[in-house]
Chains A and B, each alone.
Chain A
Amino acid sequence: MSTQLPEKLVRHAGIDRAFHWLTALVMTVLLVSSLLPIMGIRFVWLELHWSSGVLLTVLVLLHIVRALRGRNGRLMKLRRADFDELKGTLRPGKYSLQQKLIHLAWSAAILVAIITGVVMMVKAGTPFFTRNPYILSYRSWGLVTLLHDLAALASVFLILVHVYFGLLPEKRQYLRSMVGGTVRREELAADHDLDRVARGE
């Protein structure tokens, strides 16, 4: 079945690559605008931070809609059988166990950041919400901020690990496909089961 696959496979459609790189840019702006003031570099960060957060929310909503409508969401779903890759009894389909796990970690961190961020926008006051710091108690605001901070720290960790694996020579095919969209069949065959890829797994 794998021979049915063309010599060059489209791994990431243009819209998915645009989502990836725009999200990377927005995440960088979000982390820079929140962490630099903590490091003592003072500037007007709040407007930049919440407006980038709104852009991230829009991007994530579009990504979720696309994942639910197409087969991309199913391809990224973590299954019990995926753990057989650790035993070497199963080779990955389109996405490896590690790729599914880091996507899951990203999903958790970003969703927590977005949900808590939207709540914090009510406290800060933005064109979207009338400022009202009294909708939550002081203690509850602390817990919301704690979750937002944890999501930020998790994002710092995930960005460093993600960039490291993306730059490894043996993983270069993934980086190239995230730039150009395609991957060569024999290059993919080194780490993936082409029959599973052809079956859309």
Chain B
Amino acid sequence: MNILRYGHDAYDKIVIDGISWDMLPVAVVAALAVIVIHQVRRASRKRGQ
């Protein structure tokens, strides 16, 4: 999995072009992780009541 996209400048030097779109699922998975952690905490709090 690539983190960044790379290109070449006028002198053929490698330069950063932006974020690799391989990272798009990472943003989705990070959000899902927050949701799962919150659901687990919510369920354990309900069980404790």
Contacts and interface: CB of A to CB of B under 8 A. Distances in A.
Chains A and B form a bound pair: yes
Contacts of B16: 139, 142-143, 146
Interface of B: 4, 7, 9-10, 15-19, 21, 23-24, 26-28, 30-32, 34-35, 38
Q: Is the interface of B mostly helix, strand, loop or mixed?
A: helix
B4 A146 contact: yes
A149 interface: yes
A142 B15 contact: yes
A148 B26 CA distance: 16
A38 interface: yes
B9 A139 contact: yes
B18 A146 contact: yes
A137 B11 CA distance: 12
Given A153-B27, A156-B28, A138 B15 contact: yes
Q: Is the interface of A mostly helix, strand, loop or mixed?
A: helix
A128 interface: no
Contacts of A148: 18
A68 interface: no
Contacts of B21: 38
Given A38-B21, A139-B16, A150-B19, A161 B34 contact: yes
B7, B9, B31: most-surrounded residue (chain A CB, <10 A): B31
Given A138-B15, A160-B32, A153 B7 contact: no
Interface residues of A, number: 19
A164 interface: yes
Interface in A152-173: 153-154, 156-157, 160-161, 164
A137 B38 CA distance: 44
A97 to B, nearest CB: 15
A35 interface: yes
B24 A38 contact: yes
A137 B9 contact: yes
Interface string A104-143: 0000000000000000000000000000000001110011
A161 B35 contact: yes
